[in-house]
């Protein structure tokens, strides 16, 4: 199935928020709200600072099927946030998650980012395996720099050096 990946556009907001909240709460029971996620309320303003960017994978009809954001952190570092893929488009046969991550890493390298970190939750075991297959290594929370934007629900942390 074909899809396209491009930068976030304001027209994506409502459908993207609905997709992400359905995954977070309906599928995985994380218990977060739209109001508690400023990166979801206004991705353009939140992510587009320095080398930061936010991408949306869209089905051929334009509906969002995935997302990923890169925050620029101090000292040539980046943080992945809001990586989600709709359940019916997950898996290697679709390639949505891999394409999103590849886009982010290529952008980070071009921007001179040397290290990328992320936080995730215990229940997202497949996501954790995906990151590990892509060269991320799990790190202890104590290894996070003080400026890392840690989410309250995050329990597992990963790092990759580019």
DSSP string, 5-42: EEE--GGGHHHHHHHHHIIIIIIT-----STT-HHHH-
Task: Count how many domains the chain has.
Answer: 1
Whether the per-residue pLDDT at 37 is higher than 80: the answer is yes
CATH number at residue 28: 3.40.630.30
pLDDT-derived band at 114, boundaries 50, 70, 90:
very high
Q: Which domain holds residue 70?
A: 3-161
What is the mean predicted confidence (pLDDT) over 115-123?
A: 94
Residue 32 in this model has a pLDDT that exceeds 90: no
Enter the DSSP assignment of 4: E
pTM for the full predicted model: 0.94
| Averaged pLDDT of the chain | 95
> Could you tell me if 4 and 10 are in contact, meaning their C-beta atoms sit under 8 angstroms apart?
no
Nearest to 65 by CA among 82, 80, 87, 44: 87
Instruction: Tell me phi and psi for residue 146, to 5 degrees.
Output: -60, -30
Residues of the chain above pLDDT 90, percent = 86
pLDDT bucket at 162, cuts 50 / 70 / 90:
very high
**Any idea which residue has 């840690």 for tokens?**
150
């Amino acid at each position: 199935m074909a899809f396209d990946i491009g930068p976030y556009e304001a027209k994506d907001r409502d459908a993207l928020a609905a997709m992400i909240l359905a995954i977070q709460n309906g599928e995985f029971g994380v218990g977060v709200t739209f109001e508690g996620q400023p990166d979801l309320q206004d991705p353009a303003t939140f992510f587009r600072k320095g080398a930061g960017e936010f991408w949306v994978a869209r089905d051929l009809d334009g509906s969002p099927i995935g997302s990923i954001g890169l925050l620029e952190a101090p000292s040539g570092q980046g943080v992945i946030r809001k990586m989600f893929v709709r359940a019916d488009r997950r898996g290697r046969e679709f390639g949505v998650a891999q394409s999103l991550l590849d886009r982010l890493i290529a952008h980070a390298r071009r921007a001179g980012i040397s290290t990328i970190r992320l936080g995730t939750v215990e229940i997202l075991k497949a996501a954790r395996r995906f990151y590990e297959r892509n060269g991320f290594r799990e790190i202890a929370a104590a290894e996070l720099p003080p400026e890392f934007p840690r989410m309250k629900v995050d329990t597992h942390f990963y790092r990759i050096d580019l």
